[in-house]
Amino acid sequence: MSGETVKKLTVYTLAEDYTGYDSLFWASFGISFLLRIESGGGKKTLLFDTASDPEPILHNIRLLELSLEDIDAIVLSHRHFDHTGGLAGVLREIHRMDIPIIVHPRIFDVTVNDVPYLEPHRSRLFLNEGLSGENRKDNITSLGGRWFCVKDPFPILPGVMTTGEIEDEEKVSYERDPHLNLFDIKDGGLIKASAVDDISLCINTSGGLVVITGCSHAGIVSITKKAIRLTGTDTVRAIIGGFHLINANDELIDRTVKDLEEMRIERIFSGHCTGSNAEYRLRQVFGERFERLHSGKTIEF
Ligand SMILES: [Fe+2]
Ligand SMILES: [Fe+2]
């Protein structure tokens, strides 16, 4: 998509783990962004992830005076329930057939928690993926979703594409282990979860690149480097999303922040699974160019 740019991008945080201070917005474990994009093809609206549940999204979108009915396509960053849990509820509100849902083909694989005992308060015992229950593949199809299962980078609009799968060879060495206490069921065995289905969005604005991530299980540095390669622009205006450094040690946090600094990222908007240690370090290094995400936060480019 080299050369194609979007004229205007507005990112609305429909749901995030934090409400913001003194706020009427609701929090929800996970992430959901609504993206208003003005490009050569006119004005389009994308939904990126659907957090854990639809209710906070429906409440917050009303406060933002926006509508889910305008959504042209949905992108799901990966299978975890805090990014896919609200999908069926959102589709019921859109109330239209043939809504493209862009995902990695391995999003339907089964991931389990390593919970060795019963926890009655957990409704999702064992299963960590969100495309089960009312969000299962066939039910989503009957609610109007049309699955686009694509492993490669996928162009959505002029200037907008997914990263596709980020393969191990494309990653910086220290991001090859996604540090998840989860297991995938494969060929009858349990293997350490690889989060192979993790994809992000690259949006090429006239002033540079904006990268939108879910949990960044593929690694925020590797994701950003791939977005730069795909778009052919090395001016990164912003990276926005969860960076999954919540369980990372100081060494991994320092290497990540140093590499983001070397890439001269202009602004960072992060929260969710980034973790307070990494947020503290990002704030130290990026100062006011780092901002904590929260439900209702609106970012304009
Ligand atoms: Fe997450
Ligand atoms: Fe995740």
Residue 123 predicted with pLDDT over 80: no
Name the fold adopted by 8-300: Metallo-beta-lactamase; Chain A (3.60.15)
If one compares 178 and 135, the residue with the highest pLDDT of the two is 135
> In degrees rounded to 5, what are phi and psi of residue 160?
-130, 125
Residues with CB under 5 A from ligand 1 (ion): 82, 215, 273
Chain CA centroid to CA 225, Å: 17
Rounded Cα distance between 93 and 77, Å, is 21
Cα(235) to ligand 1 centroid in Å equals 27
Q: What is the pLDDT of residues 214-272, one digit of tens each?
A: 999 999 999 999 999 999 999 999 999 999 999 999 999 999 999 999 999 999 999 99
The closest of 14, 80, 81 to 217, measured between CA atoms, is 80
Q: In what order do the strands lie in the sheet with 182-186?
A: 111-113, 182-186, 189-192
What is the structure's pLDDT at 73? 98
Give this prediction's pTM: 0.95
What is the structure's pLDDT at 39? 85
What's the Cα-to-Cα distance from 282 to each of 13, 238, 287, rounded to whole Å?
20, 13, 7
What is the structure's pLDDT at 118? 52
Domain ranges of the chain: 8-300
Q: What is the pLDDT of residues 9-36, one digit of tens each?
A: 999 999 999 999 999 999 999 999 999 9
Cα(252) to ligand 2 centroid in Å equals 18
